[in-house]
Amino acid sequence: SALKDKIKRLLKEKNAVMVSHYYVHPDLQDLAEDTGGLVSDSLEMARFGRDHSAQTLVVSGVKFMGETSKILSPHKTVLMPDLDATCSLDLGCPISEFNAFCDAHPDRTVVVYANTSAAVKARADWLVTSSCALDIVKALKDKGQKILWAPDKHLGGYIQRETGADMVFWEGACIVHDEFKAFELEALIKEHPQAKVLVHPESPKEVVALAHAVGSTSAILKAAQTLDAETFIVATDNGMLHKLRTLNPGKTFIEAPTAGNSATCKSCAHCPWMAMNGLAGVARVLEHGLNEVHVEARYLDRARLPIDRMLAFTA
Ligand code: MLT
């Protein structure tokens, strides 16, 4: 399309590269890959942006992803199609309350999810994403450390059940994953008894309990390629279905049901903030240098520390 051609031209002119999340519109995923950029999860987005030689990163995703890129590459220009695209986990963990929570548990190692503000990261010992959280908490437990976990209570609970680590939790949830319902999922499983169920651990534990594979978006992609099944039921943001379907053309992927919707719902599990990203926005910000991501100077260096630890751990 003309818009895609325009973006391709602007990327070259501005020495820019696109970094897109699996949950954004398929156009933004495909264009990133077609132009030498990346579509992936938040961990690999951060690493790719840090290591790429382009001077400008165009991050399609939500605010914390742009901020993480900026923290890792303070001398690069980071642009986002829409700066109002945020995250319920980030919004649900304001720094003043988080500071008080940390102050109340001075003996605990502070482990926070990537889906947080720069200020919260700057208070953390470790950053994790859903793809490395389990391994990092396991390693900390093996060193005898007690954990303060924030903000996703479902992911935290899953990790505690898997590792037996001593953890206290912040009460946060992702508005998309929190809506998956076990009762409706069980009914769908009965309709598709051969199907394998792939669940993101930000989902409630009753939903996780029905899974054949539990994991991050990259783990879900891997499970779809390796598990022996033709049909999969997928409990994560439905932006994920694009990559699942293009990488597995012979297989069928069905969306897991959410509250108040029937099993035939085609678009209910989609993050409204991820949906704010589009081709027109990418073209506009590239052309005019708009929507630059800034991180407050007082958080920049301190917030890089837990991110660097995570990147070194997963290197
Ligand atoms: C992320 O880390 O990008 C999100 O948690 C989604 C995922 O990859 O599981």
Per-residue pLDDT at 105 exceeds 90: yes
Task: Read off the pLDDT of residues 204-243 as tens digits, 9 standing for 90 and up.
Answer: 999 999 999 999 999 999 999 999 999 999 999 999 999 9
Q: Which of ligand 1's atoms lies nearest the C-alpha of 115?
A: 5
- Read off the pLDDT band of 268 (50, 70, 90): confident
Task: Read off the pLDDT of residues 164-201 as tens digits, 9 standing for 90 and up.
Answer: 999 999 999 999 999 999 999 999 999 999 999 999 99
Q: From the CB of 203, is ligand 1 less than 6 Å away?
A: no
What's the mean pLDDT in 36-51?
Answer: 95
Q: Which of ligand 1's atoms lies nearest the C-alpha of 218?
A: 8
Say what the pLDDT of residue 264 is.
53
Q: From the CB of 243, is ligand 1 less than 6 Å away?
A: no
* The Cα angle at residue 190 between residues 188 and 196, in degrees rounded to 5: 75
**Hey, what long-range contacts does 101-105 have (CB within 8 A, 24 or more apart)?**
101/148, 101/150, 101/170, 102/148, 105/148, 105/168
Say what the pLDDT of residue 262 is.
52
Q: From the CB of 68, is ligand 1 less than 6 Å away?
A: no
Q: From the CB of 200, is ligand 1 less than 6 Å away?
A: yes
Say what the pLDDT of residue 263 is.
54
Nearest to 72 by CA among 1, 6, 19, 111: 19
φ, ψ of residue 36 to 5 degrees: the values are: 85, 10
DSSP assignment of 61-79:
S-HHHHHHHHHH-TTSEEE
Per-residue pLDDT at 265 exceeds 60: no
Residue predicted with more confidence, 94 or 263: 94
CB of 175 closer than 8 Å to CB of 90? no
Residue 277's CB: how many other CB atoms inside 10 A?
24
Task: Read off the pLDDT of residues 142-160 as tens digits, 9 standing for 90 and up.
Answer: 999 999 999 999 999 999 9
Say what the pLDDT of residue 261 is.
58
User: How far does the centroid of ligand 1 lie from the alpha carbon of residue 266, in Å?
Assistant: 21
Distance, CA of 234 to CA of 244 (rounded, Å): 10
Distance, CA of 65 to CA of 18 (rounded, Å): 13
What mean pLDDT value characterizes the chain? 96
User: How far does the centroid of ligand 1 lie from the alpha carbon of residue 2, in Å?
Assistant: 31
Substitution candidate for ligand 1 out of 47, 67, 129, 155 with most atoms within 8 A of CB: 129
